[in-house]
Structure 1
């Protein structure tokens, strides 16, 4: 019987072990999409205890704790930090076969050298050990990134953000690049006219442009897009239920905008037209600047209205949605391609039923202008686990070129999430190793090792237009 989480974890044959330990393990990390707070990097924060770095903001853990019958006060409430950790420790034994079990113990091992299993009886010792380490300089936020061999981090930032923290990080000489990513979803969210108009007020303040028309609204957003570019941004991102690709005219959009500014609610068709116009405009600007654009599609967010009202967004009440994706996505990409304005694009799906859809969609617009121009992105959110990663890798392998993939990202708010890259790399090496040992692939260690290193790091390093 193998030891749990030993050096050959997830590596089920000798070839897989060679591929991981000799090729994948050493590669640096590019985290080209995450939700890490740049202020904590700028200030090189030291967390007071393990709960603060591990449980604050982690809705994966909160969902498990709630399912285990833990009261909300121990998740997002005002209970003491150790009491919250103790409830998490009591929950961990019940997460067997959930990816949280693997991630929890990988993170304890990789960051803190803890090989004990976390449960109620071990909670106090593990908490004290990790908390003591976190209070030392070696465990500041920047050193946590260094410990995982991270080279580039892209945060997620709204157009109205000042990016002051990014400027502070750059001025400090921190050797890891921490770059902003432009996420303008609030600028096209018109379901609530009051919220939208509040956003317009913020945009006016950020851009210095008085917004009186749709054109001046675009001018203000373009000013922010340019500002982000000046701050070394070269990546955009959208988190949408589905792509917006309705037909519209310029006059229609101008009229819809005036209706919004008059605080008049839009009907569904007007909302879709406005969102379609904005999405296309952002994509044009991305193409003009040579940015990479990302589309995260398929989340059904904020399903529990009672808890949404009580706690707000991003607190663990989202799920996989069953939206229709193909026709609108194809129409949107085709319009950009037809006008020769299709930027490098990464597509992510949350519904696994869409795996093959996405894997074949990218082939429609990979035109040979650059290797892997249109990417099928790594398994995302609820699919970011052993089964989901394997299915995404297999779909891409079967219908595209896995060898040109830009690989893994964290999409995380936690500085302890970087073992997810290791998890992905081990699964990747195991898939190649099994097929080599089965005689399904040639036993060409040098070439396969190169392909694995490309997926882990080299492809992303070359794909994105990183600042020099």
Structure 2
């Protein structure tokens, strides 16, 4: 078996059969990503391989810094080829890091390049890919269609105009691009320098004057309705952990009034406000039949100096270790107690807590929807072979892998779609190994094939009501 051949990661004949006959050709539903709606609406053409591949990719920047590459070649003002050349110098050092696999999978698909990227091949690969990027087939929309993408859910702030989503919808080019409601800034009451200007923008976007807590909720509902009109069916939160403090309506109203008056809030008041906001946003989702997503466990912006110089999302985040079980249980139980718990996906960033999440979802599955509460795909630092296997093994052991809604890119790059292929190969290999070791009956191949197709596509299609 050679590197990146047709049977890459498929260790058995059964795994190969499941992948090639069932997984390979399923369309992609990328239900969580950070792709630019503007780039899709304008059908952007990237000038060169650096622009499409290294722009905004903090995974690669982390590896380059670790390899001793100065910041000017990561986020700085070095010219595009110089940046690519430094990345090519780094790639050989990424052996056994998932970046090594992803890099070569992304060269193979969509570019058809099977050479190993290293300093000796850098110029040829750069020139060949850059030439392809100038053609219609390698515009943003061309790449999405080439990769068999059917639906994309971007990540959008409630104040976003969604003008680009409207243009994409009007163009009807073959890939649905739907907005996802991420209201994290509307909860950031502990940061008055962020929160108060944000309220002004929310007023402008919604047309609702915000002078009370109820008016804040009214403004958010107006934007939530607008997202729904444009096909939005998901919300998302990026949190260290769930907020689930006890609070009263009167307390939250008073806390919001203090914030408007620029008065100092205690930590307890901040947590009560955030807890109330999470519940209110969850109620909006339930009322419309949406799915709420929670990305939990990231310890962000660890490097103060680089945060000051470069800002967030530049490669200085890590796995955190937070109290998860009790607040998560309290939050979900509060909503379930009034039968207002929406479909929910929980993404875990700390692998030591996989079994915690896998058992938590079983507490609130109620038979109303298959897999109503989901243990989401291995996320961020864990979306690699070992992380995916651990997530799927925990889900298999504690729940129903067969009801899993599968993979997403969580990416800012239009070249990240081979991650779906990566996941599908790993999934097929897990099942194939079980069959060939005698842990699953070989007589049920028809069902395993259907199960693979469901996890790759059908489950998500049905779950989100797209």
Relative to the length of structure 2, the TM-score reads: 0.99
Matches for 1:97-116 after TM superposition, within 5 Å: 97-116=96-115
Question: Deviation of residue 213 (structure 1)?
Answer: 1.1
Question: Deviation of residue 5 (structure 1)?
Answer: 0.9
Question: Deviation of residue 265 (structure 1)?
Answer: 2.4
Are 1:268 and 2:267 an aligned pair?
yes
Question: Deviation of residue 329 (structure 1)?
Answer: 0.3
Paired residue secondary structure (1:112): coil
Residues in 2 aligned to 1:11 and 1:195: alpha-carbon distance in whole angstroms: 48
Unaligned runs of 5+ in 1: none
Residues in 2 aligned to 1:348 and 1:100: alpha-carbon distance in whole angstroms: 21
Q: Which runs of 4+ in 1 moved over 4 A?
A: none
Partner of 1:207: 206
Instruction: String of CA shifts for 1:296-327, please: whole Å, max 9, x gaps.
Output: 00000011111111111111110000001000
Instruction: String of CA shifts for 1:314-360, please: whole Å, max 9, x gaps.
Output: 11110000001000000000000001100100000000011000000
Are 1:138 and 2:109 an aligned pair?
no
Instruction: String of CA shifts for 1:202-246, please: whole Å, max 9, x gaps.
Output: 111111111111111111111111111111111100010000110
Question: Deviation of residue 39 (structure 1)?
Answer: 0.2
Instruction: String of CA shifts for 1:57-86, please: whole Å, max 9, x gaps.
Output: 000000000000000000001110000000
Residues in 2 aligned to 1:285 and 1:173: alpha-carbon distance in whole angstroms: 28
Partner of 2:68: 69
Q: Is the 8 A contact 1:193 1:264 kept in 2?
A: no
Partner of 1:328: 327
Residue correspondences, number: 465
CA RMSD of aligned residues (A): 0.6
Partner of 2:356: 357
Residues in 2 aligned to 1:422 and 1:428: alpha-carbon distance in whole angstroms: 10
Residues in 2 aligned to 1:318 and 1:67: alpha-carbon distance in whole angstroms: 14
Question: Deviation of residue 174 (structure 1)?
Answer: 1.6
Matches for 1:23-42 after TM superposition, within 5 Å: 23-42=22-41
Paired residue secondary structure (1:145): helix
Question: Deviation of residue 465 (structure 1)?
Answer: 2.1
Partner of 2:226: 227
Matches for 1:80-119 after TM superposition, within 5 Å: 80-119=79-118
Residues in 1 aligned to 2:129 and 2:207: alpha-carbon distance in whole angstroms: 46
Question: Deviation of residue 130 (structure 1)?
Answer: 0.1
Matches for 1:376-395 after TM superposition, within 5 Å: 376-395=375-394
Question: Deviation of residue 445 (structure 1)?
Answer: 1.5
Q: Is the 8 A contact 1:349 1:379 kept in 2?
A: yes
Residues in 1 aligned to 2:426 and 2:237: alpha-carbon distance in whole angstroms: 28
Q: Is the 8 A contact 1:89 1:118 kept in 2?
A: yes
Question: Deviation of residue 175 (structure 1)?
Answer: 1.3
Paired residue secondary structure (1:238): strand
Partner of 2:18: 19
Paired residue secondary structure (1:226): helix
Residues in 2 aligned to 1:45 and 1:172: alpha-carbon distance in whole angstroms: 15
Partner of 1:310: 309
Instruction: String of CA shifts for 1:69-110, please: whole Å, max 9, x gaps.
Output: 000000001110000000000000000000000000000001
Residues in 2 aligned to 1:291 and 1:465: alpha-carbon distance in whole angstroms: 9
Residues in 2 aligned to 1:58 and 1:261: alpha-carbon distance in whole angstroms: 37
Partner of 2:446: 446
Paired residue secondary structure (2:152): strand
Question: Deviation of residue 387 (structure 1)?
Answer: 0.3
Matches for 1:284-433 after TM superposition, within 5 Å: 284-433=283-432
Instruction: String of CA shifts for 1:155-179, please: whole Å, max 9, x gaps.
Output: 0000000000000000111211000
Residues in 1 aligned to 2:283 and 2:424: alpha-carbon distance in whole angstroms: 34
Relative to the length of structure 1, the TM-score reads: 0.99
Paired residue secondary structure (2:172): coil
Residues in 1 aligned to 2:399 and 2:459: alpha-carbon distance in whole angstroms: 15
Q: Is the 8 A contact 1:194 1:263 kept in 2?
A: no
Partner of 1:457: 457
Residues in 1 aligned to 2:281 and 2:465: alpha-carbon distance in whole angstroms: 17
Residues in 2 aligned to 1:432 and 1:227: alpha-carbon distance in whole angstroms: 42
Residues in 2 aligned to 1:435 and 1:194: alpha-carbon distance in whole angstroms: 54
Question: Deviation of residue 38 (structure 1)?
Answer: 0.3
Q: Is the 8 A contact 1:157 1:181 kept in 2?
A: yes
Residues in 1 aligned to 2:453 and 2:191: alpha-carbon distance in whole angstroms: 46
Residues in 2 aligned to 1:234 and 1:428: alpha-carbon distance in whole angstroms: 26
Partner of 1:240: 239
Residues in 2 aligned to 1:249 and 1:104: alpha-carbon distance in whole angstroms: 51
Partner of 1:158: 157
